[in-house]
Amino acid sequence: MKKILSLMLISVLFFSCSEDKMDEINEDRNNTTEMQSKNLLPDLLLKSGFESTGTDIAWYATVYVEHNAGTWNQSHQADRRIAQNASSLLNNSWNALYDVMNIAKTIINNTDPETGAEPTDFFSRGVAEIMMAYNLAIATDGWGEVPYTEAFKGLDNINPTFDKQSSLYPEIQRLLNAGIEDLNQATVIHGNKDYIYAGDKALWIKSAYALKARFALRLTKINGVQAAQEALAAIPNAYSSIDDAMLLGGFIIDLPGSNPWGEFWYWRDHLSVSTTIFDLMTERNDPRASAYFSSTDPADIAPIGAADQVQGGYSQSLFTSGWDAMASPILMFTFHELKFIEAEAKFRVGDATWTTALQEAIQASFDFVGVEGAADYYTNEVAPKLTAGNELKEILTQKYIAFFDREAIEAYNDYRRTGFPEMKNPNNATVGFIWRFPWALSEVSSNSANVPSWTIFDKVWWAGGNE
């Protein structure tokens, strides 16, 4: 009996050792289930710029805000307000945003000072907090209420509730504050993992303050003068020159490897310069027109909301169409945006130096696109329009012109927030302006019980809508 038990024990031990060895042999060491936070940073930054900022959301926004007229296929439908409530419209962008926010959340969890496996990686943590704020803002600005508190839990919660926008905006500011605090503590940086600032934490902190100003001013309809005051409090710690701008570069004039706007032009050619932006610049004798448009002949400009469906038949943006555009960077936050925020905020609080900030904003815009004559343009064309009661309209019009067309998302947000400049698409009156994006198919099909009832014709909270 003892002999039998001994043989059985030997068999069990041998089997167990063999199983352990087999597990070790079968382990794929090249595809780990966990990755260091610093190695997640490239994916976080590339996707934030390429997918969140530089593709579908921007391409629909540029049509809604009339920088471009849609002159082919889906963009032509957007121009005519056809099928804009389809749940498939921006489903890919919704999923991409949640993918990139999940990466940010993973880094934040991994670097938690109390519970994370990498409690001293303050650089990765700070950048992830800033990028979580950046992407969360794109999501809530586009859709209004979005999942956040119960999101990013995988199979533990596949039906997250939607957070109100009024609770998400304080969270965005909290994330930016946390990012600033953590970056100030960072002693080890990961420059080769940072596709935006190459490990310069001071520039990341400046970007966090710039974003604080952007999102503070977003709430002008909610917080009134306080919104402007909060924006002005952040600005001194933000960018001081064009060189500080938050850009994702490194693209080339080749496929693959080019800017997504350039690829969109090359493969699809959906967009043409709109009469709305063209007329505003023509009225002001704007010298940037020759740097903006492939043709400045009025006959070549696509009538907004009524253009023919044709590829390449109208004037196009030189920034996002053509070979040179394929190597241009994705603009995530520019110096001229910050100066326009300063001009608007100072005007709202009654600071007379708002005119100086406006001049500096226009100069920064001219410098960014390599055009001379900003001072004369301000004196001869802008200053005469700054009459009593027209100041805010002209500030926002100048910002709208400077945003053409790579900063369409922020131009869209500004119009929904202020109503400036006037949109001219005739389909806004007959069908309706698109105030928010349609709910994504992935949510409608799998989380329908939590999807709010709002439609694309309902304003988001900060634009004056309900929750």
Range 372-382 burial, b when 16+ CB lie within 10 A, else e: eebeebbeebb
CA angle 462, 245, 268 (to 5 degrees): 75
> Are the beta carbons of 126 and 180 closer than 8 angstroms?
yes
CA 342, 348, 354, 360 dihedral sign is positive
Separation of alpha carbons 71 and 312, rounded Å: 9
CA angle 281, 285, 288 (to 5 degrees): 65
Amino acid 116: pLDDT = 97
Amino acid 7: pLDDT = 37
Separation of alpha carbons 294 and 319, rounded Å: 10
Separation of alpha carbons 400 and 287, rounded Å: 15
Could you say which DSSP state residue 49 is in?
I
Cis peptide before 421 (omega within 30 of 0): yes
Picking from 232, 216, 214, the residue whose alpha carbon sits closest to that of residue 353 is 232
Within the chain, how many helices (H) and strands (E) appear?
20, 4
HEC string of 134-203? HHHHHHHHHHCCECCCCCCCHHHCCCCCCECHHHHHHHHHHHHHHHHHHHHHCCCCCHHHCCCCCCCHHH
214: left (phi over 0), alpha (psi -120 to 50) or beta: alpha
> Are the beta carbons of 289 and 404 closer than 8 angstroms?
no
Amino acid 34: pLDDT = 75
Range 184-199 burial, b when 16+ CB lie within 10 A, else e: eebeebbeebbbbbeb
The domains of the chain, with CATH numbers, are 37-255+328-463 (1.25.40.390)
What backbone torsions phi and psi does residue 413 show, to the nearest 5 degrees? -65, -40
Amino acid 13: pLDDT = 40
> Are the beta carbons of 467 and 166 closer than 8 angstroms?
yes
- pLDDT string in tens for the chain (467-residue length): 433 334 333 343 443 444 444 444 445 455 455 799 999 999 999 999 999 999 999 999 999 999 999 999 999 999 999 999 999 999 999 999 999 999 999 999 999 999 999 999 999 999 999 999 999 999 999 999 999 999 999 889 999 999 999 999 999 999 999 999 999 999 999 999 999 999 999 999 999 999 999 999 999 999 999 999 999 999 999 999 999 999 999 999 988 899 999 999 999 999 999 999 999 999 999 999 999 999 999 999 999 999 999 999 999 999 999 888 999 999 999 999 999 999 999 999 999 999 999 999 999 999 999 999 999 999 999 999 999 999 999 999 999 999 999 999 999 999 999 999 999 999 999 999 999 999 999 999 999 999 999 999 999 999 999 99
Picking from 434, 433, 435, the residue whose alpha carbon sits closest to that of residue 461 is 435
CA angle 215, 218, 222 (to 5 degrees): 120
- Bridge partners, 273 (sequence order): 68
CA angle 263, 268, 270 (to 5 degrees): 110
Q: Tell me the helix, strand and coil percentages in the chain, rounded to 5.
A: 60, 5, 35
Amino acid 33: pLDDT = 55
